[in-house]
């Protein structure tokens, strides 16, 4: 099969992104990616304001696509397909990227596919990497999701665990707000934690009997510890202790998933995959267990269109495509209540 180039568009939340990815056999190469961040627009609200986000996507979408093509030295006429993230996300935001992708595909007479953003976070670990060995345990750790999958291939996923309250990225952001580290908080808390002592502040380790996750109790424990006069001025220690118990839960569940579902590899993606401690601990775990670790490059951890283009390219290479009626949806098809529920009772 000859190489194909797919344009991907991501606009699910507060990043407008376009990317070109070449698929050649199983290998996925990023030819160009441009992302316009809206962080500055939302910072004063310490969270994303949907109406501001969708208007900013409208302003940015065409310039971002144009810049991506220019940086890759390709014209739209050299494309073989177009993909857009169509779920999960803010509907007004998703519609901007989805409409742009459908219009381009129609105008250029190219196949169009809609991509599930959660699936794309896993595929991000395959970008610019040698082909992976299957089956794999996949972890998506982002601002909206904390989900564990058994993967037979990039296309066959079964949900085996998910958060029952906050997502881990959300816990990082709330922890950063408690410690007054600013927005977006996860990366700032991670940086601040590097200088702290991980055992200085006792915080509870959450150990559920299933492969599910829970983070809200840890966040409450951090709030109480941060209010205690004896911890005044110990922001580094608080951040470091908090990061330690959040990451310990992710690592524990990957380890237990490997016990339950023997696998050749572990694949990790999502914004929290950029976390320094998670990257170190996952490397140690996988080395101990003799499995391959593929953790998305930090460039492809937080929201970006390269992961959307790659997931779309995998589908288009299989001859799949979606029709113009494909709708935006607020939830992932890979969340509990969709696929995977029956497997969890196994």
Any idea what the Cα angle at residue 223 is, between residues 15 and 13, rounded to 5°? 10
CA atoms within 13 A on the CB side of 336: 15
Are the CB atoms for 125 and 314 separated by under 8 Å?
no
Q: Is 142 in the site for Zn ion (CB under 5 A)?
A: yes
Closest separation between CB of residue 227 and ligand KG4, Å?
22
Of 142 and 263, which has the nearer Cβ to Zn ion? 142
- In whole angstroms, the minimum distance from the beta carbon of 85 to Zn ion comes to 9
Closest approach of ligand KG4 to the CB of residue 111, in Å: 25
* Tokens linked to 312: 């779309």
- Counting contacts by CB under 6 A, is residue 173 touching ligand KG4? yes
Residue numbers 271-330 binding ligand KG4 by CB under 6 A? 271-272, 274-275, 302-303
List the one residue from 10, 116, 166, 190 that touches ligand KG4 (CB under 6 A).
190
Nearer Cβ to ligand KG4 (144/312): 144
Q: Is 270 in the site for ligand KG4 (CB under 6 A)?
A: yes
Measure the CA angle with vertex 66, ends 2 and 307; round to 5°: 55
Pairwise CA distance, residues 157 & 150, whole Å: 6
Between residue 237 and residue 256, which ones bind ligand KG4 under the rule CB under 6 A? none
Closer to ligand KG4 by Cβ: residue 30 or 317? 30
Comparison of 187 and 321: residue with beta carbon closer to ligand KG4: 187
Check if the beta carbon of residue 310 is closer than 8 Å to that of residue 113: no
Residue with smaller CB distance to ligand KG4, 103 or 284: 284
Give alpha helix (H) positions in 20-112. 39-42, 50-72, 91-108
Q: How far is the CB of 89 from Zn ion (least distance, A)?
A: 8
**Contact characters 16-55, ligand KG4, x per CB under 6 A:** ----------------------------------------
Q: Which does 184 bind (CB under 5 to 8 A by kind): Zn ion, ligand KG4, none?
A: ligand KG4
Using a 10 angstrom Cβ sphere, with 0-12 exposed, 13-18 middle and 19 or more buried, the burial of residue 184 is buried
Q: Which residues of 306-345 are buried (b: 16+ CB within 10 A; e: fewer)?
A: bbbbbbbbbbbbeeebbeeebebeeebbbbbeeebeeeee
Estimate the crossing angle of helix 216-227 against helix 235-260, to 10 degrees.
160
Beta strands in the chain (DSSP E): 4-10, 15-24, 27-37, 81-87, 112-116, 136-141, 146-151, 157-162, 265-269, 292-295
β-partners of residue 150 are: 137, 158
Taking the least distance from each CB to Zn ion, the nearer of 93 and 235 is: 93
Measured from the CB atom, the residue of 262 and 330 that comes closer to ligand KG4 is 330
Alpha-carbon radius of gyration of the chain: 20
The reply to whether 303 sits near Zn ion by the rule CB under 5 A is yes
User: Tokens representing 195?
Assistant: 């200088």
Q: Quote the CA–CA distance of 48 and 46 in Å, as a whole number.
A: 7
Least Å from the CB of residue 204 to ligand KG4: 19
Q: Report if residue 185 touches ligand KG4, rule: CB under 6 A.
A: yes
- Using the contact rule CB under 6 A, the part of the chain among 26-34, 90-98, 164-172, 329-337 near ligand KG4 is 164-172
Q: Is 144 an interacting residue with respect to ligand KG4 (CB under 6 A)?
A: yes
Asked if 256 and 211 touch (Cβ cutoff 8 Å), the reply is yes
Binding mask 79-98 for ligand KG4 (x = CB under 6 A): --------------------
As measured in angstroms, the least distance from the Cβ of 141 to ligand KG4 is 8
Shortest spacing between CB 15 and ligand KG4, in angstroms: 7
Residues that bind Zn ion (CB under 5 A): 142, 303
Residues that bind ligand KG4 (CB under 6 A): 121, 142-144, 169-170, 172-173, 184-187, 190, 270-272, 274-275, 302-303
């Amino acid at each position: 099969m000859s190489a194909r180039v797919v344009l991907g568009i991501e606009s699910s939340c507060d990043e407008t992104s376009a990317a070109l990815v070449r698929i050649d056999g199983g290998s996925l190469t990023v030819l160009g990616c441009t992302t316009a961040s809206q962080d500055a627009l939302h910072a004063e609200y310490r969270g994303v304001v949907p109406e501001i986000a969708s208007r900013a996507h409208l302003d940015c979408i065409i310039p971002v696509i144009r810049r991506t093509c220019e940086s890759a030295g390709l014209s739209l006429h050299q494309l073989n397909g177009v993909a857009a993230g169509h779920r999960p996300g803010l509907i007004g935001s998703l519609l901007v990227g989805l409409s742009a992708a459908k219009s381009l595909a129609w105008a250029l007479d190219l196949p169009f596919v809609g991509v599930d953003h959660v699936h794309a976070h896993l595929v991000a670990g395959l970008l610019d990497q040698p082909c992976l060995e299957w089956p794999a345990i996949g972890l998506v750790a982002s601002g909206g999701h904390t989900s564990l999958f058994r993967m037979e291939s990039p296309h066959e996923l079964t949900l085996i665990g998910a958060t029952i309250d906050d997502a881990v990225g959300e816990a990082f952001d709330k922890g950063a707000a408690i410690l007054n580290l600013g927005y977006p908080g996860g990366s700032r808390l991670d940086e601040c934690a590097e200088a702290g002592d991980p055992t200085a502040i006792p915080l509870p380790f959450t150990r559920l009997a299933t492969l599910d996750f829970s983070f809200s109790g840890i966040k409450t424990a951090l709030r109480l510890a941060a209010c205690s006069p004896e911890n005044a001025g110990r922001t580094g220690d608080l951040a470091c202790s908090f990061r330690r118990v959040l990451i310990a839960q992710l690592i524990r569940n990957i380890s237990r998933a490997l016990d339950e579902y023997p696998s050749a590899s572990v694949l990790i993606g999502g914004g929290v995959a950029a976390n320094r401690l998670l990257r170190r601990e996952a490397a140690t775990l996988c080395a101990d267990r003799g499995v391959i670790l593929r953790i998305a490059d930090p460039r492809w951890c937080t929201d970006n269109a390269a992961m959307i283009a790659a997931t779309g390219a995998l589908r288009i290479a299989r001859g799949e495509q979606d029709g113009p009626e494909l709708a935006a949806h607020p939830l992932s098809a890979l969340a509990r209540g969709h696929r995977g529920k029956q497997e969890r009772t196994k």
